[in-house]
Structure 1
Amino acid sequence: MDVYLGEFVGTMILIILGTGAGASINLNQTYAKGQGWLFVAFAWGMAVTFGVYVAAAFGAPGHLNPAFTIAAAISGMLKWSQVAGFIGAQMLGAFVGAAIVVIHFYPHFQASKDEAAGNTVGIFATKPAINSPIFNFLSEVIATFTFTYITFNLGDFATGLKPFIVGFVIFAIGASLGSTTGYALNPARDWGPRFAYTVLPIPHKTAAHWGYAWVPLCGPIAGAAIAAVLFNLE
């Protein structure tokens, strides 16, 4: 059970730090209001780094990501019998992490009375810069393929300084490929917080845009699976 607990807690830390950055740059009366894209990309990179470290402390591999878990099973790094447990832990960890961010920023949600004031599902989940579903899907496929293929070639990425390397991979992808869709790369990172935004009593919340949610679910799974197949051919 330690590996499942590790995936839960590691994903929770990932979302606390990542969506916390999203709240910081969007909500009214925060000191970071209005910070730019590189701030976001770096914050998510470090969120992944420390999420992996926490997961590894429990003996988990630090996937924190259903798409990566499925790819690991395809490549033979993980037993298929463990996949459902990993994904459930990751989704639950993402939801809990988002709920903690809601509590932390609650007064700032109260001070942000509509989407124009920054109270948007984009704090928690991804949305496209240009709404073009097929190309949005392809963007997620390409970005997640790149992330997964690089990470597979790092070997055991949960040891030593390698989690920092993974974090800088996330930062690099965010800076280069992430500005089209917000680079979900990870269905749990999107669906868990999106669901939290939907069901929790957040002041002045706006639409959760579930019509788009298939993109950050299917795109990362497809991209990671392609990376696993290519990796197996090496």
Structure 2
Amino acid sequence: MSSSDIFIGEIIGTAVLILLGAGVVAAVVLKRSKAQGAGWVAIAFGWGFAVMTAVYISSPMSGAHLNPAVTLAIAIKSGDWSNFPLYIAGQLIGAMLGAFLAWLAYYGQFKAHLSDPEVVPPPLDEGLVDKKAAPKAGPVLGIFSTGPEIRNVWQNLVTEIIGTAVLVLAILTIGLNESGKGLGPLAGLYVAFVVAAIGFSLGGPTGYAINPARDLGPRIVHALLPMRNKGGSDWGYAWIPVVGPLIGSALAAGIYQIAFA
């Protein structure tokens, strides 16, 4: 694989991943969406099949890492770090592009949702507002990135570590990207169901980022987009879905080297 193939493949693949993943959350959450209220099952399967679609599209070009945690584990396993920065750059750019495209696709729904007084109540008299008590996450941030149901730093971090370790260990043990020539015909489907399983079983506490680019790129886009009443981007939490998956990835790579290599 050439450097340009890796870079472009990761941009395209990660953009498709986030477009479809953020898209299913937008479909379930936003007002005036035909799928509003479809629930967690739709989100978990939607993200799983988003991964599958992105894997099959990008595998011939880049090997379909789509996730800095996967790239880190493969680098630890192989000892080859030469393309590590290229993969990360492509993934982050792709994640930002996918989030932007999801916003475009649901532009009218975002506007309707953020103008609904049930979602965004009118501001209190300025003298009564405690600015320090302002919400850390806006009403549509969950479409772009993850956040905890219970804000406990150690629990949230451990949840992301565990979820990512499961994902990465599953990927390493099926030999994903081992040959550098793409995936077998069932590997992408297998990974899709692993992601869905993680969503069902471990997604409740934090929303299962399990991918630093998937969380950070769209969070940056949320911060930049001109959406009225969008609220905060919760930067105080943003390090957890980056650091947690990277720790989980390194842990999974170590387990693989000890138990399977």
Per the normalisation by structure 1, the TM-score is: 0.95
Check if 1:44 corresponds to 2:69.
no
Q: How does 1:1-234 map to 2 (within 5 A)?
A: 1-57=4-60, 59-76=61-78, 79-113=80-114, 117=119, 119-156=139-176, 158-233=183-258, 234=260
Stretches of structure 1 lacking an aligned partner (at least 5 in a row): none
1:94, distance to aligned residue in structure 2 (A): 0.3
Deviation at 1:151, TM superposition (A): 1.3
Q: Note the alpha carbon deviations across 1:148-206, whole angstroms, 9 max, x for none.
A: 11111011362212101000000011101111100000001000001000012124311
Instruction: Indicate conservation of the 8 Å contact 1:140/1:181, yes or no.
Output: yes
Identity %: 40
**Per the alignment, in what secondary structure is the counterpart of residue 83 of structure 2?**
helix
* Contact preservation (8 Å) 1:19, 1:123: yes
Determine if contact 2:6/2:86 at 8 Å carries over to the other structure.
no
Segment of structure 1 superposing worse, 140-149 or 115-124: 115-124
- Misfit runs of 4+, over 3 Å: none
**Is this contact kept in 2: 1:70–1:225, CA < 8 A?**
yes
Q: Cα deviation per residue 1:33-87 (whole Å; 9 max; x = unaligned)?
A: 1121111110000000011111113x211110011101110111x7212111100
- TM-score, length of structure 2 as denominator length: 0.86
Q: Distance in 2 between matches of 1:154 and 1:206?
A: 41
Between the aligned partners of 1:70 and 1:160, the Cα distance in structure 2 is: 24
State the shift of 1:117 in Å.
2.8
The amino acid that maps onto 2:149 is: A
Native 8 Å contact 1:120 1:207 kept in 2: no
Residue identity opposite 1:232 in structure 2? Q
| One-letter identity of the residue aligned with 1:63 | H
Q: Distance in 1 between matches of 2:119 and 2:18?
A: 22
Q: Number of aligned residue pairs: give it.
A: 232
Separation in structure 2 between the aligned mates of residue 9 and residue 79 of structure 1, nearest angstrom: 23
Q: Does the CA-based 8 Å contact 2:75-2:84 persist in structure 1?
A: yes
* RMSD value, Cα: 1.5
